[in-house]
Structure 1
Amino acid sequence: MATARPGRLGWLIVERITRWIRDEPRFADGLLALVFVMFEALAAPRSDDPAVFLALGVLLCAPIVLRRTSPVASAYAILLASIVSSLVLARFDNDTVGHPAGLLLIVALYSLVVHSRRWIAALYFLGLAADTAVKIIALDYEMPETVLYLAGFYLLGWAIGEVIAVRHRQHEEIAARLEIAETDRDRRAEDAVAAERTRIARELHDVVAHSVSVMIVQAEGASYAVRSNPDIAERALRTVASTGREALTELRRTLALLRDETTTNEVLDYGTAGLARTAALMRDAGLPVELEITGDIDALAPALGLGIKRIVQESLTNVLRHAGDGARATVVVQRVGEDVTVSVTDQGGNGIGRHGHGSGNGIVGMRERVAVLGGTLCTEELPGDGWRVTATLPAGPE
């Protein structure tokens, strides 16, 4: 089994440790505090009172542990500890040893610039000026050198903080944009899945509901006539069989279209021939249908041609199921100018449907299909138990 080379393994270990330290800010800042405590311990023996000096040094170092989680509290605690240290050390006349942890004032200012608001950092800068004044007065620091020295370091800390703050804001903006893009991508994926489910449901409803309705009507008629008129029953059963075969063929065509958007036009059954077959099938089921076609609808786009057929198919199925005995239907398809108008009129039967009220999915499916094609759908009840469905679809110039 292959093993990692020692050099690469070492880099991997360092990378893991670095990433863990970055993800654990208090641990990293605790290490920083520990390093300065060690510096304080090395400087303490040179002071007049090493114990007091070291205690004050620890007091200066401890708040830095919170510099990223609580930057304001940490910074002002360090500032207060620095002022207290200057006042305490002022009682030792010959103590000129400075605290190495005084550099943490610069780190605290940097942390405020990066993690807090600018006005808070500006107030802290004034606090640093007060601390400098205390050092000059209490510890007899040289005025010009001390001011220039500390001011230079403080300004440098502020400038570095500004650069890092800009980088942090850029990273946060990029992260926010990525999150928005990911959310938008997920939303588009969900919308696409929902649209595909709706499309599949609509296609299957148009195919299955139409054919099954015809088969139910013919089967019921055959059951009534099987003893009294065997010839009519036999003819009805032949219609059931042919309708079943037609439904199976249509279902295969629909599934082929759903599986592959690039399906050739040969698989689709639309246009004049498709409408004629639909009308003939309904006539065989016992519904008189008059079909009138004006204009060239065979040259329409496949999606539009199939949509017209589905609208006619669903409308005639509704007439067959709900209009009752004696109903007649008229289908008018007109292509005039840049529009195609599809009108299916139920001239009314006895108003008592054979299968009661439907689920309403047929009308909903037609509205969805018409909306996808960019058209409008209108349904209206006519006097004498009649009903009309009218769809207007954009077809483009002939």
Structure 2
Amino acid sequence: MRRFSLWLRGKPLISDSILALLLLTLDVLTVGEARNKVAYLVLGVLLVVPIIFRRTYPRGAALVLVLISTSTTITHWAGDDSSVHPALLGLGVMLYTLVAYVGRREGLWYLGLLVFDSTLSFLLIGKPEGGDLAFTALYYALCWTFAEFVGARHAYDAEVAARLAVADYDKERRAHDAVAAERTRIARELHDVVAHAVSVIIVQADGARFALRDNPDLAEKAMTTIAGTGRDALRELRRTVELLRIEHAPEELPQHGTAGIAKVVRMMRDTGLDVSLELCGEIDTVTPEVSLGIHRIVQESLTNTLRHAGPDPRAEVRIERAENDVLLDIVDSGGAPSARAHGKCGESLPTRITAPASLIPGSGLGLVGMRERIAVLGGTLTVGRTGNGGWAVHATIPLYRAVPD
């Protein structure tokens, strides 16, 4: 029975046709009281036809039903037939339909037409009895009240459905954003690992090729660096790929710290890059996320120096742990010889950035990855040319992320 009710709910013409048939049946049962039975049956059929379309075309059906009711009143007056059609109960049904499915304003207009029709009926056919008048008023009042209840229920159901739709959309959007963020993070990690390792390997391989005959020791050292770089890159690639294979696996971030930074600097020195490192404060106790961010920023900056700074490049790395954040300054000479700028802890290197990175050709995925990483950590990044034609990277990484209220 419940399944049949749900099936009827989606087919208003069928359910309204059943209601019209019930009203017509009541008319047929009272046809014996009419003098002109044929005219009585025709009017009965005409009265129930608008009921079939009460929810499909509510305004038009209501207007047609009132006009037919008024015509019935005039016909009774002209033919001196005082018999009443039970199908006129459809007037209350139509009032309920307008209030519940269209609105109170249309319901008030329709109620005014009903009052006019009832007044015309009383004037033409005769003064009604007190019981008939009370029944008519009570019937219309019950139809209006029931329509208010059903209309409120429909509004509540519509609001719940809208909220569920919004919740589903938000859920899908959050899932899509999470997947996109995860893909971006993994792509950023892969780029940092592969770009750094491949750059070092290419430089060392070229050096080994030229030094193979004249300086075998230097060539052997270069090959050792290549092998070590390849192993480190393979280990980090395996860790990153493992995140893709295990669903919902928590990421175990490596704690690079001072040893990791020193290893990167030593590896870059082995490739021929003149790097100076200055550490101010303890960075081995920062969170793994901040430690990885520091490591990747330094690694990517020195890799860019190795690839783009030209012959005899120099780079200066300063990492300072302040009270609430970590300050990073990586400055290179751009291939031009320059005196190193050493300062005290708390003093920034004289970067003198003259142009933002977005205005300098050649800003690629490395800079995009650094910006994304700094944004995730809640810090700031400034990248650009220095006054002597070099390249400067200044980053600020907060030690503790503020939790929103």
Aligned to 2:84: 98
Asked if 1:108 corresponds to 2:112, the answer is no
Q: Per-residue CA shift, 1:34-71, capped at 9, x if unaligned?
A: 22222222222331111111111111000011111221
3-state DSSP class of the match of 1:334?
strand
Query: Which of 54, 69, 86 is the equivalent residue of 2:73?
Result: 86
1-structure distance, mates of 2:187, 2:336: 32
Aligned to 2:376: 372
3-state DSSP class of the match of 2:42?
helix
Aligned to 1:244: 230
- Gaps of at least 5 residues in structure 2 are 338-360
Structure 1 position 166, deviation (Å): 1.0
Q: Per-residue CA shift, 1:65-90, capped at 9, x if unaligned?
A: 11112211111211111110111122
2-structure distance, mates of 1:180, 1:89: 56
Asked if the contact 2:308/2:334 (under 8 Å) is kept, the reply is no
2-structure distance, mates of 1:140, 1:263: 88
3-state DSSP class of the match of 2:30?
helix
2-structure distance, mates of 1:321, 1:242: 19
Aligned to 2:113: 127
Q: What fraction of aligned residue pairs are identical, expressed as a percent?
A: 46
- Gaps of at least 5 residues in structure 1 are 1-13, 352-356
Structure 1 position 151, deviation (Å): 1.2
3-state DSSP class of the match of 1:48?
coil
Aligned to 1:10: none
Q: Per-residue CA shift, 1:274-318, capped at 9, x if unaligned?
A: 101111111122212111111010010110011000000000000
Aligned to 2:150: 164
Aligned to 1:306: 292
Q: Which 10-residue stretch deviates more, 236-245 or 366-375?
A: 236-245
Query: Which of 384, 389, 399 is the equivalent residue of 1:385?
Result: 389
Q: Which amino acid in the other structure matches residue 368 of structure 1?
A: E
Aligned to 2:355: none
Which aligned pairs between 1:230-379 and structure 2 lie closer than 5 A? 230-255=216-241, 262=250, 268-349=254-335, 360-379=364-383
Query: Which of 65, 70, 88 is the equivalent residue of 2:52?
Result: 65
Aligned to 1:7: none
Asked if the contact 2:311/2:335 (under 8 Å) is kept, the reply is yes
Query: Which of 11, 35, 42 is the equivalent residue of 1:55?
Result: 42
Asked if the contact 2:290/2:377 (under 8 Å) is kept, the reply is yes
1-structure distance, mates of 2:400, 2:41: 89
2-structure distance, mates of 1:88, 1:262: 83
Structure 1 position 344, deviation (Å): 0.8
**Residues 136 and 396 from structure 1, CA distance in 2 versus in 1: closer, same or farther, beyond 3 angstroms?**
closer
3-state DSSP class of the match of 1:91?
helix
Structure 1 position 143, deviation (Å): 5.1
Asked if 1:45 corresponds to 2:32, the answer is yes
The total of aligned residue pairs comes to 376
2-structure distance, mates of 1:144, 1:161: 26
Structure 1 position 242, deviation (Å): 1.5
Aligned to 1:74: 61
Q: Which amino acid in the other structure matches residue 218 of structure 1?
A: Q
2-structure distance, mates of 1:384, 1:261: 47
1-structure distance, mates of 2:329, 2:382: 9
Aligned to 1:11: none
Query: Which of 168, 182, 200 is the equivalent residue of 1:196?
Result: 182
Asked if 1:20 corresponds to 2:24, the answer is no
2-structure distance, mates of 1:107, 1:134: 20
Structure 1 position 254, deviation (Å): 3.7
Structure 1 position 96, deviation (Å): 3.0
Aligned to 2:341: none
2-structure distance, mates of 1:324, 1:177: 59
Asked if the contact 2:255/2:288 (under 8 Å) is kept, the reply is no
2-structure distance, mates of 1:47, 1:143: 20
Aligned to 1:185: 171
Asked if the contact 1:48/1:92 (under 8 Å) is kept, the reply is no
Q: TM-score, normalised by structure 1?
A: 0.89
Aligned residues: CA RMSD: 2.1
Asked if the contact 1:136/1:143 (under 8 Å) is kept, the reply is no
2-structure distance, mates of 1:250, 1:176: 46
Q: Which amino acid in the other structure matches residue 79 of structure 2?
A: F
2-structure distance, mates of 1:305, 1:253: 17
Q: Per-residue CA shift, 1:123-180, capped at 9, x if unaligned?
A: 1111111111222122224253332221111111111111111111111111111111
3-state DSSP class of the match of 1:220?
helix
1-structure distance, mates of 2:271, 2:233: 14
Q: Which amino acid in the other structure matches residue 161 of structure 2?
A: A
Query: Which of 31, 35, 38 is the equivalent residue of 2:18?
Result: 31
**Residues 92 and 112 from structure 1, CA distance in 2 versus in 1: closer, same or farther, beyond 3 angstroms?**
same
1-structure distance, mates of 2:24, 2:249: 71
2-structure distance, mates of 1:264, 1:81: 79
Q: Per-residue CA shift, 1:294-348, capped at 9, x if unaligned?
A: 1010010110011000000000000001111100111110112222111111123
